[in-house]
Structures are given as structure tokens and as C-alpha cells.
Amino acid sequence: MKANNSIIQLLLKGLSLSKSEIEITEPLFQKVFYEKGALLLRTNDIVNYQYYTLEGCLRSFYLDKYGKEHTLQFAIRDWWISDYTGFFSDSKAILNIEVIEDAILYRISKENKERLYSKIPKIESFFRKKLENAFAAFQKRILANISQTATERYLNFINTYPDIEKSVKNYHIASYLGITTESLSRIRKEISMS
């Protein structure tokens, strides 16, 4: 692909890169396809990649000791996803990542990302800012979890992520909110009646 029409400009949107910088960057990303149901990552795997979602829908979830799934994050178009704990600290995966809708992704390895940071420092700034935003979102999520009722969290979720709601099952949303699918069903009924 020609540098002046590179996918990189989508992945690193907002960053203005020279033609030569794009040529350095582009080969460090790999385009990959996955079908619905595929598992990109399993607990205890080495976390090699961070993924950019071009199309489709993914989710990361934690499998607890009782075999229950707890969704940490969804990713739709233009979202990044990984098991960041493992990706950042070179420890093994705590999470699983599952494809919810057939997906076209770009992935970058840890090593290539560090390489990119040292070659093009403004890419480090770019990802730092992404991380700052994700951090802020996590902070809000923690506060919501400890201060709001399930109903409030659900309303907040569908307002904040209307596009995600379309792509995922209610039981995924329930597991994201930290409640059972039965409870979510009752909450939805309550809301529809009021």
C-alpha cells in the first residue's frame, strides 16, 4: 500500500507521520482475520500482541474459579484490545479474548511496539495518550461499580456504548456489569415498564 494512503493513518489517527515514518511503521503491523467464536488469547498464554479492530467485535473476559465469565472489555471498530496486564508486564494472560463477530484486525507485537517507540518517539506519545484515556475510563468504571446500582450501570452502559450494545448478547452485557443474565432481564423489564 502506498504510504500516502496507508492503514497506519487509521490506526494512528491524529498523528501526522512522514512518508518515511509510515514506511517504517507499516510492516510492524500485521493484518489478521478471525471468525466468530475464535479465541485470540487464553489464560496463561504469553501475551504477544495488542490488537486494533478494523471490523467485527471482540471481548476480553476473565474466567473465575467457578467457571464463570466476567467481561472486562469489548472492542468494536477503531478500538484497541489486549490483556494489558500481561502485555505490559510480560506476565502470562489473566484474560481470554474471544471473537464475538467475524473480525478484521491489525496486531502489533510487544517487541515491535518498543522498537517503534524508540524509532519514532511521537508514537510513544500517541499510545501514552491512548493509555491515559483508557485509564480514565477504567477509573470511571471502578467508581460506577462501587457507587451505582445495577440498573444505573446498565443505563449508563447503553448510553455510553450504543454501538456495542448492537453487537453483543445480553449475557455479555450482564457479565460486563457484574450481574447475572436473569437479573439483567429483570432490569430491562423494569426499564421498559417505566
Q: Which residues are near DNA by CB under 7 A?
A: 149-151, 169-171, 178-189
| Contact status: 15 vs its own copies (CB under 8 A) | no
149 binds, among DNA, its own copies, none (CB under 5 to 8 A by kind): DNA
- The alpha carbon of residue 42 and the mean position of all alpha carbons in its chain are separated, in whole angstroms, by 15
Which letter, b or e, does each residue of 149-163 get, where b requires 16 or more Cβ atoms within 10 Å of its Cβ?
A: ebbebbeebeeebee
Which window, 10-18, 44-52, 100-108, 172-180, contacts its own copies (CB under 8 A)?
Answer: 172-180
SS3 of residue 43 by DSSP: coil
Q: How many CB atoms lie within 10 A of CB 63?
A: 14
Q: Which of 112, 84, 88 is nearest to 26 (CA)?
A: 112
Q: In the chain, how many H helices and how many E strands?
A: 9, 6
d(CA 107, CA 25): 12
| Interface positions, 52-81, toward its own copies (CB under 8 A) | 62, 64, 68, 70, 72
Calpha distance 172→69 (Å, rounded): 9
What is the C-alpha R_g of the chain? Answer: 18
Q: Considering beta carbons, is residue 123 or 184 the nearer one to DNA?
A: 184
Whichever of 93 and 177 has its CB closer to DNA, that residue is: 177
Q: How far is the CB of 72 from DNA (least distance, A)?
A: 16
| Residue 169's binding partner out of its own copies, DNA, none, with CB under 5 to 8 Å set by partner kind | DNA
44 vs 181, beta carbon nearer DNA: 181
Distance, in Å, from the CA atom of 96 to the CA atom of 39, rounded to the nearest integer, reads: 7
By a kind-dependent CB cut-off of 5 to 8 A, residue 47 interacts, out of its own copies, DNA, none, with none
DSSP letters spanning 2-27: -GGG-THHHHTTT----HHHHHHHGG
Q: x/- binding map, residues 120-139, to its own copies, per CB under 8 A?
A: -x--xx-xxx-xxxxxx-xx
Give the range of 5-13, 38-46, 154-162, 175-183 binding its own copies by CB under 8 A.
175-183
Q: Under the rule (CB under 8 A), what is the footprint of its own copies?
A: 62, 64, 68, 70, 72, 84-85, 88-89, 94, 117, 121, 124-125, 127-129, 131-136, 138-143, 145-147, 175-178
